[in-house]
Structure 1
Amino acid sequence: MLRASLTHPTKIEPAASVAMISMLLIAGGGLALAASDKYSAKVPGGLSFSEFRGYEDWQTVAVSQTESAMAVILANPAMIEAYRSGIPENGKPFPEGSKIAKVHWTPTQSKESPSPATVPGELQNVDFIVKDSKRFADSGGWGYAAFIYDPKSDSFSPATTADSPPQENDAKCGYACHTIVQAKDYIFTAYPKR
């Protein structure tokens, strides 16, 4: 019987083939989306990743590098416009709805560059800040969140007290760290000349 099925294959109608392939692609795509839906991550009692949907397309404000991480700091259009108007150097606060995303990678040496160059390696985390004075009145009007990336599951989860720097559920560490730049509306990153 096995030999007969190999020598005389069952004819499958083209419509059935398309339907079967479509079901497999949808099922596979659904699994991939479920494993990496970063927009479902949320800091308990705080910011959610989904509040920053589209951050990947925001304009670069600046870059930074430490021994253990390199980062790009991105800002939404409202914040970019504020920077261009002279904020925070002019002493004015950023407008409500201003947002920053800071993406951190492990620094690595480029294998392709003809001269030594440090480039982003493995993704470490993504941090977010939003100006919402009503919602975050007790932290200078800014809300903070840090989401740690797990390459094994291709997913993000809120940073915790076990992370460095430690993060409480309400991400108060962000506020504590940013108080040293209170005079600049709690924002470290300047908008450099370009």
Structure 2
Amino acid sequence: MHAAFKCVAALTSCAALVATLVSAAEYAAPTAPDKYKVKVPGGLAFSEFKGYESWPVISVSHNGDHLAAILGNPAMIDAFKAGIPENGKPFPDGARMAKVHWNATRKEAYPGPPTVAGAQANVDFMVKDSKRFADSGGWGYAAFAYDAASDTFTPATTANKPPQGNDAKCGAACHTIVKNRDYVFTEYGHR
């Protein structure tokens, strides 16, 4: 019985040592700051779009410097499928869009040669909330610049392209030219 007690004590000590080492390794491992804690001063929080990475694609775009995937939450996708905004109806409150931009990179060695997504540049968000954003057509906007070296997002500023003010109305001025489409440029891509 005495040998069994020593074995249990040794195992307990080993388990404690392993737990200490794992805890120390987790503490020492560098991790990127949580993107869901970032917020545009006076505007939208990244956390309001949690899960956007798995939203369905609405469409894609290419402006020369950047490629983008425009994603929508279920409310946004359902609205597009119902014919909004072409049918003249507004998007419902709670509809959200994310536009992820990557630097356009040409793959010269590939057939074509294709232009593909390179490093991520930024992400833009829109949310329909007619009460909260009554003075900007019912939409709130946010733009977050991405830094690959630190794997962090920060609120876009007037130094970014396009320049962004630090509030939830940063995209309102540009989107007024599509007021007749409930301020949404994107058209739902045919499948």
TM-score by length of 1: 0.87
Q: Which residue of the partner structure matches residue 51 of structure 1?
A: 48
Q: Which residue of the partner structure matches residue 6 of structure 2?
A: none
Instruction: Rate the CA distance shift 1:171–1:165 in 2: closer, same or farther, 3 A.
Output: farther
Q: What is the deviation of 1:160?
A: 0.9
Q: What is the deviation of 1:114?
A: 4.4
Per-residue CA distance 1:19-70 (angstroms, 9 max, x = gap): 23311332145x41xx331111101111000000000010000000011111
Kindly indicate whether the alpha-carbon contact (under 8 Å) linking 1:165 and 1:173 is maintained by their aligned counterparts in 2.
Answer: no
In the alignment, structure 1 residue 18 sits paired with structure 2 residue 15: no
Structure 1 segment 142-157 matched on structure 2, within 5 A = 142-157=139-154
Q: Which residue of the partner structure matches residue 135 of structure 2?
A: 138
Q: Give the counterpart letter for 2:120 in structure 1.
A: L
CA distance in 1, matches of 2:109, 2:53: 24
Q: Any idea what SS the aligned residue of 1:91 has?
A: coil
Kindly indicate whether the alpha-carbon contact (under 8 Å) linking 2:72 and 2:97 is maintained by their aligned counterparts in 1.
Answer: yes
Q: Which residue of the partner structure matches residue 64 of structure 1?
A: 61
Q: Any idea what SS the aligned residue of 2:171 has?
A: helix
Q: Which residue of the partner structure matches residue 4 of structure 2?
A: none
Q: What is the deviation of 1:171?
A: 4.4
CA distance in 1, matches of 2:33, 2:22: 21
Structure 1, unpaired ranges of 5+? 1-10
Kindly indicate whether the alpha-carbon contact (under 8 Å) linking 2:42 and 2:168 is maintained by their aligned counterparts in 1.
Answer: no
Q: More deviation in 147-156 or 44-53?
A: 147-156
CA distance in 2, matches of 1:104, 1:46: 20
Q: Any idea what SS the aligned residue of 2:118 has?
A: strand
Alignment length (residue pairs): 181
Q: More deviation in 171-180 or 143-152?
A: 171-180
Q: More deviation in 114-123 or 84-93?
A: 114-123
CA distance in 1, matches of 2:75, 2:144: 23
Which consecutive segments of 4 or more residues in structure 1 shift more than 2 A? 11-14, 109-115
Instruction: Rate the CA distance shift 1:112–1:39 in 2: closer, same or farther, 3 A.
Output: farther
Per-residue CA distance 1:113-146 (angstroms, 9 max, x = gap): 4442211101100000000011111100000000
CA distance in 1, matches of 2:112, 2:67: 19
Kindly indicate whether the alpha-carbon contact (under 8 Å) linking 1:146 and 1:171 is maintained by their aligned counterparts in 2.
Answer: no
Q: What is the deviation of 1:172?
A: 3.0
Structure 2, unpaired ranges of 5+? 1-9
CA distance in 2, matches of 1:112, 1:21: 46
Q: Give the counterpart letter for 1:164 in structure 2.
A: K
Q: More deviation in 111-120 or 97-106?
A: 111-120
Q: What is the deviation of 1:173?
A: 3.5
